[in-house]
Amino acid sequence: MKKDFVIGLDYGSDSVRAVLVDAHSGEQIAEAVHAYERWKQGLYCDAAESRFRQHPKDYLEGLHVVLHGILDPHPEIAPLVRAISVDTTASTPCLTDEHLQPLSLRDEFKDNPDAMFVLWKDHTGVEEAAEIERACAASPINYTQVSGYHYSAECFWAKVLHLLRTNADIRREARSVVECSDYITATLTGTTDPAKNRMGHCNAAQKMFWSEDWGGFPPEEFFASLDEALLPILRTMNANKYTCDKPYGTIAAEWADELGLNRDVVVGCGNVDSHQGAIGAGVAYKTAMINLGTSGCCMFVIPHEQLQGRIIDGVFGQADSCILPGLVGFEVGLSAFGDAYAWLRRTLAYPTLEILAKSDKVDEQTREALVEEMMDKILVRLGEDAARLPHREDAPFATDWFNGRRSPDPNQNLWGSLMGLRLSTGAPELYYAIVEATALAMKTIVDHLAERGIEFDSFIGVGGISQKSPFVMQMLADAIGKDIHVSECKQSCALGSAICASVVAGIYPTIEDAQHALCRPTIRTYSPDAEHRALLEKRHAMYRAAGRFTESMMK
């Protein structure tokens, strides 16, 4: 039997992952994960200002580590690798020089956060996003229609405009801009000309105002009305966009030689991580994918004829051929999902990190082991104890907007809240309230879509939370009232990239064909509990009321 292998790369918020996959059997031969070193130390970030930046060296170092991690143990397979595809978080742009190199790789900007990649969840461009939204509303064509008539600080142009306006040195030196996924593909192929950078379609269509309906990007006059500093950047960008089943180019010789690959290995065009996760999970019409990580993304596809030209208001993104070519792809979700749980973990761990970790009552090795054990087990224990709590209408409740609201109706200025607290309230009840809030937020999205004629038969859950937290998954199923099937694959985004790589290599004619061959089976199904679902309907009314109160406090 002919042997072909493909590689999928997935750049998430905290780490990069790679999988080496048999392109015919779907067997995962090897997996490697590398946590970003600078990011792990909290460098270049300030959560109080919603500033989250990542150094390109974290990406580049991780690229070497994970590729060697999957290929070095299998030198006999390396010559049989046909293609590599990449996904990353989005929108995560970085301003560059004329050679498509991030400004932070220059000595004078090596520690300047504004010269680095602006992570998807960075909200420093809230004011710029609001200005862009107003400009679109006043334009003959409202370019925000592809994002439900809203524009977010998580989107491309808000981030770029904010950097150019707030840092004079960066404004003076910037010559172009690159999305993270395109930067990785450009790096692998040795591309240094911004005009030759094949930008991924999903980023461009959902977060950058690119559409065939108005001939690509909006006209220069629109960008000039915001700030003329955008024009030189815009003019360097390739006007064409490429879906994830198209090749970016062939691997650069130095990468091929370093890794033991053939020099004709094809590198596919980059894509958004959640979109590739949907592909890896087996997304299809009527079957939505929920990717549960630091954020919560729900991805789905709809035939053109069902929409009949309608724009679904209040959703973060919708565009033709996003996710699966030929179908309209949608992205909705929560800006903080696992991040909300991590906030509680971090808060409860204060004495662990500030007292135990600095104590001289035990030796250093014991101290470090205790801190590591406590940090690893806090959420596990909270989940176990919360699952044993009775479902009560009068239990504490929360809103989930710890990093603003993504959908429906994006608003990055909102904050999370806890209500109904008593002296008897304990940590498991706080965890219960936050988990319930994230589930009710997802229910709000599903209800919003159902009211507009978009419904699903079932959901596929992927991401670490879907495999590690039965409590969270059952709460979600009870809230949305549909079965949630958990995928066997632990790295669905990386698998999605591998699936796209198999199409780019010509092994399969379409992504759907590759999905049929390579997607992994589901290992567990969470079905809604009717009694708890009835209670959650009442709790949902409380959640909505708490949300309205929270929004009123912002005015």
Give the three-state DSSP class for 200.
Answer: strand
**Which residues contact residue 194 at a Cβ distance below 8 angstroms, ignoring those fewer than 6 apart?**
96, 98, 100, 175, 176, 178, 236, 237, 238
Asked whether residue 157 is domain-assigned, the answer is no
Asked whether residue 237 is domain-assigned, the answer is no
**How many structural domains comprise the chain?**
1
Give which of 269, 271, 273, 331 is closest to 297, Cα–Cα. Answer: 331
The pLDDT averaged over each successive group of 10 residues in the chain (555 residues) is: 93 97 96 98 96 98 98 97 97 98 98 98 96 97 88 95 98 98 98 97 93 94 98 95 96 98 98 94 93 90 87 81 89 92 96 93 93 95 97 96 88 90 97 98 96 93 91 97 92 96 98 95 94 97 92 80
List C-alpha distances in Å: 518 to 71, 169, 200, 242, 523: 20, 48, 23, 23, 16
List C-alpha distances in Å: 74 to 18, 64, 181, 555: 14, 16, 26, 59
Asked whether residue 422 is domain-assigned, the answer is yes
Asked whether residue 540 is domain-assigned, the answer is yes
Which pLDDT value is given to residue 147?
81
Which pLDDT value is given to residue 86?
98
Which pLDDT value is given to residue 555?
64
Look up the CATH number of the domain holding residue 413. Answer: 1.20.58
Which pLDDT value is given to residue 427?
98
Asked whether residue 356 is domain-assigned, the answer is yes
Locate the DSSP E strands across 101-242. 117-118, 176-179, 199-200, 241-242
**Which residues contact residue 364 at a Cβ distance below 8 angstroms, ignoring those fewer than 6 apart?**
none
Which pLDDT value is given to residue 309?
78
Between helix 180-189 and helix 56-71 the angle, nearest 10°, is: 60
Q: In terms of residue numbers, what domain contains 364?
A: 338-443+528-553
In the sheet that 458-462 helps form, which strands lie side by side, from edge to edge?
Answer: 317-320, 328-334, 296-302, 287-292, 458-462, 484-487, 522-526
Q: Rounded to 5 degrees, what are φ and ψ at 461?
A: -95, 130
Asked whether residue 287 is domain-assigned, the answer is no
List C-alpha distances in Å: 111 to 173, 311, 328, 354, 504: 15, 42, 40, 27, 37
177 Rama sector, left if φ>0, alpha if ψ -120 to 50, beta otherwise: beta
Question: Are the C-beta atoms of residues 120 and 55 closer than 8 Å to each other?
Answer: no
> What is the token pair recorded at 36?
């970003």
How crowded is residue 519: how many other Cβ atoms within 10 Å of its Cβ?
A: 23
Locate the DSSP E strands across 221-286. 241-242, 247-250, 266-268, 271-272
Asked whether residue 58 is domain-assigned, the answer is no
Asked whether residue 144 is domain-assigned, the answer is no
